Structure 1
Amino acid sequence: MIRELHVSLFDLIISSSQAFELLNPDISNHQLQVAYIAYAIGTEMELTSEQKHNLLLAGALHDIGAFSLKERLQIKNFDYVDEHNHTEFGYYVLKMFKPFSKVAEIVRDHHCVWKHSVGVGLESQIIHLADRVAILLNIKEYTLPQAENIRKKIQQFSGTTFNPKIVNAFMHLSQKEYFWFDIASPSLSILLKQRIPLNIVELNSDELLDFSHMIKVLIDFRSEHTATHSSRVALTAKQLADFIGFSKRESQFMEIAGNLHDFGKIAIPLEILNKPEKLTTKEFDIMRSHAYYTYTILEPISELNLITTWAAFHHERLDGNGYPFHHNAHNLTLGSRIMAVADIFAAVVEDRVYRKGFDRDKILKILHSAANNYSIDADIANVIEKNFDLFHSLCLNADKSALEEYNKFISFKQNTQHIST
């Protein structure tokens, strides 16, 4: 019997933070560096435990609203102006998850200039300075020789861009050599766990479902062409699990896995996700990496072991010809097999840029062929065939709900851009 989950929120944030930096090695660890710097400044300023906890979370997720590589690279400019409103998008998504309500507000204002920041919270001001310090530091070079120039640069903008009290705290803190060594450490995530007395927050399965919904939105809403996909997959997989006899908790885990199955697409450039034509061989090879990244993002969280395999193995095949691990029937659990069928069904039902969704006969022909070729589990495919109208209707309803949510997001995005121009 599967027991209730107790998943560390901090572990989820570490994995999520690192996932959103897969687009480019040059921005590797940036969000965790900001989290560390902000927490250290908060400690120097003797802030409360709650304030420091929020600084850590906000720092680790502060650029979560920058959906494209172009935005991520522009952010690395010290004089960056948030023209794309990634702070607003980050706020929009983070506030979906109730435990992140305060964090969302901090992220929303983290690019506010101090002299124009009436009403902006202290935590946002700290994240702003921490972000700029991390931008100035080149971790490919020795850190200590850079320290004095960074200190001078920050001091130069005290009283204009940055809050003088925060600058003073940073100036005192940054005299300590370990501070710079820690920021540049390739093991920063481990250091954060070892050195920071974290508030122990664990999510149960209901809360994890809510968290996975937030991640689903972050991944799917990067492109209008994927806006409904994970919703289809998650609900199809959950319904299949119900029919096959999974417990209520197992079916919930299946829905969570469906929400997370394309997490690795965060590493795929928008140019590929949005391409209206058939992908080239090179582009398809890049696209195929997403399943591997889903696995590497989730695998470090031991409590998610079962959900990880269900989510990440959705392109594996019973004959061993899937990807990225080429697992065969011996290695693929029932949950992984369900997810593979759910992913195919969701894909052939939905409209794609280059084609309309298929009709019943074509869909069943595709499922039969895959089952006969020993790519997918025939028994699971038969469940869909026997209950086709139900599953088809389920996907359409998932579409409707996801599209409503996506349209709200687009409306928010357009209104935000209009206000900023």
Structure 2
Amino acid sequence: MLEVVLYADMLISWCSIGTNVEINLFQVLSTIALAIETSAPELNGHHKRTAFIANALAAELNLEPKDREDVFISALLHDIGGLVKKDYLIAIDDQEPYRHAHAAYGASIFNLVPSLRDKASIIRHHHQRWDNGRGEFCGDERIPFASHIIYLADRIDIQYLKLRKSGHEAPIERCIELIKNEAETFFHPRVLEAFLRLAKKTYFWLAIGKLLPLHLLSIYSPIAGKTINLDELMDYGLLLNNIIDMHCNFTCRHSLHVGIVARFLAEKCNYSEVDCKKIELAGYLHDIGKLAMPMGLLHKEGKLDAEDIAALKSHSYHTFELLSSIDAIADITRWASMHHERPNGMGYPFSLVGDEIERECRIISVADVFVALTENRPYRTAMPPEKVNEILLREAANGSLDSELVNLLLAGRQEVMAITDDMDLAQAS
């Protein structure tokens, strides 16, 4: 009874996005930052603290509002390239060759989103050392000043965290000393001077000495009041979709294809254009919780044991946790995170039954199963069409999948496969 009441409360609190929705940009970007750290728990809080430090430095330097925004956004997502290959997150220790590899991948990811594209160069060079002035340029390209700010902010957080973890008796004083000792080799002199002024302020060390709650970071954030629309959110959804599929190599394009198939079904069900976009976005994001899964588990060959299966099943709840911090997309969060719920009550993580599962959730479920069956996996190749049909119809018959949606998909199978093939060709070109 308690679970039913809780679920009813969730339904009351969840509302749909309208055409003129305003989605808080800080919530979107902080969710992406959390996704980065979910993949690499050793970075816990690092991106929030680095963004806080970089923003404080930018304020100390009296940067223009637009420049402060660029610094903050880039700092909040500065290690996003590490998700391409988690080994690159070893850059937390600033070691070659990883520090530039993950920065280059991060710049490539920024280029996927129109509103981030102008900040790609900041990410590409955020580990560029000053090197007595030689670090002002990289070849013929002038290094963005924001890159120097983020580099120092990154090193401050890493050094201070190490000192506190080691139990150093005077971590603040030692951190300042270490940064000053590295000044000419590592840091832009103007940024260093700003840090030395900032280091005298008590609040600064109190703020970075903890995990720094998001609500507190939002108070300091220069983008706290900024919003984006649904089309712009789609761009960020595609960015996250790419990250999810890169994190799990063998399901390359899985989330993309689920989004495409889900939209196809939504159109066949006569949803509005706005709702079709939202369902497509839910398909892109449905597996974001897999970023919390160990790479070894995701790529494990052979039979999985009970513990492995339980761990993998938790990904849909992690999807719910990650997306739930974006207030305006509560319905998309619900549809994405409930893609393993089953009408016969045999699904997870909420064990919903029958009409408790919205049709939008069922659409993502059918799309997910269809795409999984038609793609290669470590333990098998893609199944032939007749086998896919057999499995989908069986799952519909036993109540695991919505029979109406399964029939719609099978009737349009050739059409939907042509759409996914065209999308793959477009992305490859």
Report the TM-score, using the length of structure 2 for normalisation. 0.88
Deviations along 1:194-237, whole A, 9 cap, x unmatched? 23343633221111111111111111123431211112101100
Asked whether the 8 Å contact 1:349–1:392 carries over to 2, the reply is no
**Corresponding residue for 1:99?**
115
**CA gap 1:146/1:274 in 2 versus in 1, 3 angstroms:** same
Q: Does the alignment pair 1:304 with 2:329?
A: yes
Asked whether the 8 Å contact 1:7–1:202 carries over to 2, the reply is yes
Q: Does the alignment pair 1:49 with 2:65?
A: yes
**CA gap 1:17/1:144 in 2 versus in 1, 3 angstroms:** farther
Q: 1:17 aligns with which of 33, 36, 41?
A: 33
1:125 maps to amino acid: H
2:208 maps to amino acid: I
**Corresponding residue for 1:335?**
360
1:284 maps to amino acid: I
Q: Does the alignment pair 1:317 with 2:334?
A: no
Offset of residue 279 of structure 1: 3.4
Deviations along 1:100-142, whole A, 9 cap, x unmatched? 1232211110001102312211110010010011111226588
**Corresponding residue for 1:221?**
246
**Corresponding residue for 2:6?**
none
Query: How do 1:342-361 and structure 2 match up within 5 A?
Result: 342-361=367-386
Q: Does the alignment pair 1:71 with 2:79?
A: no
Offset of residue 359 of structure 1: 2.0
Query: Is the partner of 1:168 in helix, strand or coil?
Result: helix
**Corresponding residue for 2:157?**
134
Offset of residue 380 of structure 1: 0.9
**Corresponding residue for 2:48?**
32
**CA gap 1:103/1:142 in 2 versus in 1, 3 angstroms:** farther
Q: 1:201 aligns with which of 220, 226, 241?
A: 226
What is the CA–CA distance in structure 1 between the aligned matches of 2:294 and 2:396, rounded to whole Å?
Answer: 32
Deviations along 1:333-352, whole A, 9 cap, x unmatched? 11001000000011111122
**CA gap 1:82/1:297 in 2 versus in 1, 3 angstroms:** same
**CA gap 1:184/1:331 in 2 versus in 1, 3 angstroms:** farther
Further displaced range: 198-207 or 45-54: 198-207
Q: 1:290 aligns with which of 305, 315, 324?
A: 315
**Corresponding residue for 1:111?**
127
Asked whether the 8 Å contact 2:126–2:151 carries over to 1, the reply is yes
**Corresponding residue for 2:392?**
367
**CA gap 1:241/1:180 in 2 versus in 1, 3 angstroms:** same
1:30 maps to amino acid: H
What is the CA–CA distance in structure 2 between the aligned matches of 1:79 and 1:152, rounded to whole Å?
Answer: 21
Offset of residue 18 of structure 1: 1.0
Offset of residue 154 of structure 1: 0.3
Further displaced range: 381-390 or 147-156: 381-390
1:137 maps to amino acid: Y
Query: Is the partner of 2:415 in helix, strand or coil?
Result: helix
**Corresponding residue for 1:149?**
174
What is the CA–CA distance in structure 2 between the aligned matches of 1:171 and 1:12, rounded to whole Å?
Answer: 32
1:40 maps to amino acid: A
Asked whether the 8 Å contact 2:69–2:222 carries over to 1, the reply is no
Offset of residue 270 of structure 1: 2.3
Q: 2:263 aligns with which of 198, 218, 238?
A: 238
Which structure 1 segments of 5+ residues have no match?
Answer: 406-421
Asked whether the 8 Å contact 1:87–1:110 carries over to 2, the reply is yes
**CA gap 1:184/1:320 in 2 versus in 1, 3 angstroms:** farther
Further displaced range: 155-164 or 21-30: 21-30
Q: Does the alignment pair 1:86 with 2:102?
A: yes
Query: Is the partner of 2:128 in helix, strand or coil?
Result: coil
Number of residue pairs matched by the alignment: 403
1:62 maps to amino acid: H
2:150 maps to amino acid: I
Offset of residue 143 of structure 1: 9.4
What is the CA–CA distance in structure 2 between the aligned matches of 1:142 and 1:201, rounded to whole Å?
Answer: 40
Asked whether the 8 Å contact 2:99–2:127 carries over to 1, the reply is no
2:267 maps to amino acid: D
Which structure 2 segments of 5+ residues have no match?
Answer: 1-15
**CA gap 1:200/1:160 in 2 versus in 1, 3 angstroms:** same
What is the CA–CA distance in structure 2 between the aligned matches of 1:144 and 1:110, rounded to whole Å?
Answer: 31
**CA gap 1:35/1:384 in 2 versus in 1, 3 angstroms:** same
1:52 maps to amino acid: R
**CA gap 1:187/1:154 in 2 versus in 1, 3 angstroms:** closer
**Corresponding residue for 1:122?**
145
**CA gap 1:84/1:331 in 2 versus in 1, 3 angstroms:** farther
